[in-house]
């Protein structure tokens, strides 16, 4: 029933002021958790919200009286305070089984890489200076050396992420010119990274060739004109075209580029490297292309993410021919895209681990290498621990983990998951309560049960997850 005019006026009169709310015991108790100005702002936010409801005829004087009696305003302020305390980047438990989960920060780095990053962050470091001569040098000189050893490339350069790498390549070779791409490779990666949009922003004119399912070398060749700046190939990371398909190999594209004097680029995305001493992943990941093979195909530049299958901190790596990489480095835009010292330190350390035959220790790679049998005991232990908490029932069922972040599309890794149900909570409500735990936990919801995949649990995470279940049952 819509409140009458007089009702609205009495509701306005009954609405407490910010100061009155601040004097309530329940609100005063919150003053230890946030500063006074912020607490007052939260109170004002609640009071203003209710005032707007009254004005819009959505809150009558009677309903307001009920809310005040039930301390709804105090609880609303408390939940704003609680949200403030939970905000920001912090540790969480990933029990989703999606190894490279962009929402959860993609690859957790090796502890030695993490230590190198912490040290670089907290101290001065030898970044852009040569220790012998004392002269200025390139910040990624060492990284380039390591990446060259790993990939066989002549040269390398590192930027903020792979999106920046692709942008730099397009902006360097195709600004004001044309970039030729197969229609089947004009992909959108993640929320907003669309190859055609990036091209536009890099001031490159997109020339699409072929069809969605078939593109031939002759299609590229016929499209080359004097204003062609780049022939580009994009690994269709997050989808797969099946059936009657044909695509041009990077080697064929490289040969065409050389014959017609047009630079060539291959955006690989995931960046899979295989090294001695680490379990090979290519086959497990459905034949995901290797960086080394892409380099061998002889395209001028290959771009990939460091925080996907390489398991390093966020970065974009560009490897390729010396002259092409020099052109990228000479582009003034590089300055805006270059990698920071912290990520650089972590990336160097990750490459060193790979070169030392310790690639199997890199968390994301180790997770991807685990078999279902490897994971079953952890799933059983988890289900047993959660079952012991009042209100829960848990069992173990086979499941499927995912590499994630568009690496290895359509590939699922067999696993065992702990399937958890709570007597009184729907699975979606339970998942929400787990996200609000003091160390938040992320799970999957399937058929009104919460599924926890041990594949993506790091050391100590199982205990944190069990604690999150206990907190969720209590909230």
Ligand X SMILES: *Cc1c(COP(=O)(O)O)cnc(C)c1O
x/- mask, ligand X, residues 184-213, rule CB under 6 A, reads -----x---x--------------------
Please say which residue, 195 or 431, places its beta carbon nearer to ligand X.
195
Single out the segment in contact with ligand X by CB under 6 A; choices: 122-130, 264-272, 375-383, 392-400: 264-272
Q: Is 93 in the site for ligand X (CB under 6 A)?
A: no
Among 139, 177, 233, 235, binds ligand X (CB under 6 A): 235
Q: Among residues 293, 36, 299, 337, which one has the least CA distance to residue 157?
A: 337
Strand partners, 264: 231
Q: Which residue has the tokens 């926890």?
A: 452
The distance of closest approach from Cβ of residue 129 to ligand X in the complex, given in angstroms and rounded to an integer, is 28
The distance of closest approach from Cβ of residue 238 to ligand X in the complex, given in angstroms and rounded to an integer, is 7
Tokens of 165: 């790498």
The answer to whether 143 and 149 have CB atoms below 8 angstroms apart is no
Please say which residue, 15 or 309, places its beta carbon nearer to ligand X.
309
Tokens of 274: 């295989």
Q: Are strands 316-320 and 301-305 parallel, antiparallel or unpaired?
A: antiparallel
Residue 391 is given by DSSP the state T
Single out the segment in contact with ligand X by CB under 6 A; choices: 21-29, 80-88, 232-240, 453-461: 232-240
The answer to whether 192 and 219 have CB atoms below 8 angstroms apart is no
| DSSP strands (E only) in 22-137 | 93-94
Single out the segment in contact with ligand X by CB under 6 A; choices: 46-54, 213-221, 234-242, 243-251: 234-242
Please say which residue, 317 or 452, places its beta carbon nearer to ligand X.
317
Axis-axis angle for helices 5-14, 61-69 (nearest 10): 20
Q: Which residue is nearest to ligand X (CB)?
A: 269
Please say which residue, 188 or 255, places its beta carbon nearer to ligand X.
188
Q: Is 396 in the site for ligand X (CB under 6 A)?
A: no
Q: What would the DSSP string read from start to end of 230-264?
A: EEEEE--TT----SS-B---HHHHHHHHHHHT--E
Q: Is 81 in the site for ligand X (CB under 6 A)?
A: no
The distance of closest approach from Cβ of residue 96 to ligand X in the complex, given in angstroms and rounded to an integer, is 18
Rounded Cα gap, residues 315 and 67, in angstroms: 50
Please say which residue, 74 or 153, places its beta carbon nearer to ligand X.
153
Please say which residue, 316 or 359, places its beta carbon nearer to ligand X.
316
Please say which residue, 234 or 383, places its beta carbon nearer to ligand X.
234
Phi-psi region of 88 (alpha: psi -120 to 50; beta: other; left: phi over 0): left
x/- mask, ligand X, residues 155-174, rule CB under 6 A, reads ------xxx--x--------
The distance of closest approach from Cβ of residue 160 to ligand X in the complex, given in angstroms and rounded to an integer, is 8
Q: Is 234 in the site for ligand X (CB under 6 A)?
A: yes
Other Cβ atoms less than 10 A from the Cβ of 79: the count is 12
Which residues, at least 6 apart from 221, have a Cβ–Cβ distance to it below 8 Å?
A: 256, 260
Binding-site size for ligand X (CB under 6 A) equals 16
Rounded Cα gap, residues 91 and 463, in angstroms: 14
The distance of closest approach from Cβ of residue 426 to ligand X in the complex, given in angstroms and rounded to an integer, is 34
Rounded Cα gap, residues 25 and 40, in angstroms: 14
Tokens of 22: 């601040």
The distance of closest approach from Cβ of residue 272 to ligand X in the complex, given in angstroms and rounded to an integer, is 11
Which residues, at least 6 apart from 180, have a Cβ–Cβ distance to it below 8 Å?
A: 207, 209, 220, 223, 224, 228, 230, 231, 232
Touching ligand X, residues 282-311 (CB under 6 A): 305
Tokens of 182: 């197969």
Q: Which residue has the tokens 């704003």?
A: 80
Single out the segment in contact with ligand X by CB under 6 A; choices: 28-36, 43-51, 206-214, 265-273: 265-273
The distance of closest approach from Cβ of residue 303 to ligand X in the complex, given in angstroms and rounded to an integer, is 7
Among 237, 264, 350, 415, binds ligand X (CB under 6 A): 237
Tokens of 467: 């604690």
Among 267, 348, 402, 453, binds ligand X (CB under 6 A): 267
Touching ligand X, residues 413-452 (CB under 6 A): none
Q: Is 107 in the site for ligand X (CB under 6 A)?
A: no
Q: Among residues 403, 426, 376, which one has the least CA distance to residue 237?
A: 403
Residues that bind ligand X (CB under 6 A): 161-163, 166, 189, 193, 234-235, 237, 267, 269-270, 305, 316, 405-406
């Amino acid at each position: 029933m819509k409140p009458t005019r007089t009702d609205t006026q009495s509701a306005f009169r009954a609405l407490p002021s910010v100061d009155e709310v601040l004097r309530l015991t329940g609100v005063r108790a919150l003053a230890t958790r946030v500063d006074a100005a912020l607490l007052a702002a939260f109170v004002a936010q609640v009071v203003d919200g209710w005032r707007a409801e009254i004005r819009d005829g959505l809150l009558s004087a009677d309903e307001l009286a009920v809310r005040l009696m039930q301390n709804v305003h105090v609880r609303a302020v408390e939940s704003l305070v609680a949200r403030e305390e939970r905000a920001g980047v912090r540790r969480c438990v990933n029990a989703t089984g999606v190894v490279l989960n962009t929402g959860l920060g993609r690859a957790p780095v090796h502890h030695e890489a993490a230590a190198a990053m912490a040290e670089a962050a907290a101290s001065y470091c030898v970044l852009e200076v040569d220790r012998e001569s004392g002269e200025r040098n390139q910040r990624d000189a060492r990284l380039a050396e390591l990446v060259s050893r790993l990939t066989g490339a002549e040269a390398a350069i590192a930027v903020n992420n792979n999106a920046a790498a692709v942008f730099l390549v397009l902006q360097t070779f195709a600004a004001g010119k044309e970039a030729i791409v197969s229609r089947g490779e004009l992909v959108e990666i993640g929320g907003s990274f669309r190859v055609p949009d990036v091209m536009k922003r890099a001031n490159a004119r997109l020339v699409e060739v072929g069809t969605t399912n078939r593109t031939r070398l002759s299609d590229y060749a016929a499209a080359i004109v004097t204003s062609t700046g780049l022939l580009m190939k994009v690994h269709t990371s997050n989808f797969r075209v099946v059936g009657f398909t044909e695509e041009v190999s990077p080697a064929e594209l490289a040969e065409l580029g050389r014959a017609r004097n047009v630079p060539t680029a291959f955006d690989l995305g995931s960046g899979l490297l295989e090294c001695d001493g680490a379990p090979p992943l290519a086959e497990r990941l459905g034949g995901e292309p290797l960086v080394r093979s892409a380099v061998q195909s002889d395209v001028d530049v290959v771009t990939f993410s460091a925080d996907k299958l390489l398991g390093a901190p966020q970065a974009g790596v560009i490897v390729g021919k010396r002259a092409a990489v020099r052109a990228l480095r000479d582009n003034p835009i590089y300055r805006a895209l270059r990698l920071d010292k912290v990520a650089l330190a972590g990336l160097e350390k990750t490459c060193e681990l790979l070169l030392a035959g310790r690639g199997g220790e890199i968390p994301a790679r180790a997770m991807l290498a685990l078999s279902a049998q490897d994971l079953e005991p952890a799933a059983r232990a988890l289900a047993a621990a959660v079952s012991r908490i009042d209100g829960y029932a848990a069992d173990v069922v086979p499941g499927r983990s995912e590499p994630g972040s568009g690496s290895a599309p359509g590939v699922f890794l067999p696993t065992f998951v702990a399937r958890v149900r709570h007597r009184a909570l729907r699975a979606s409500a339970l998942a929400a309560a787990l996200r609000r735990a003091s160390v938040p936990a992320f799970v999957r919801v399937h058929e009104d049960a919460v599924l926890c995949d041990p594949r993506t649990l790091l050391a100590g995470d199982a205990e944190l997850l069990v604690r999150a279940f206990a907190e969720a049952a209590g909230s």
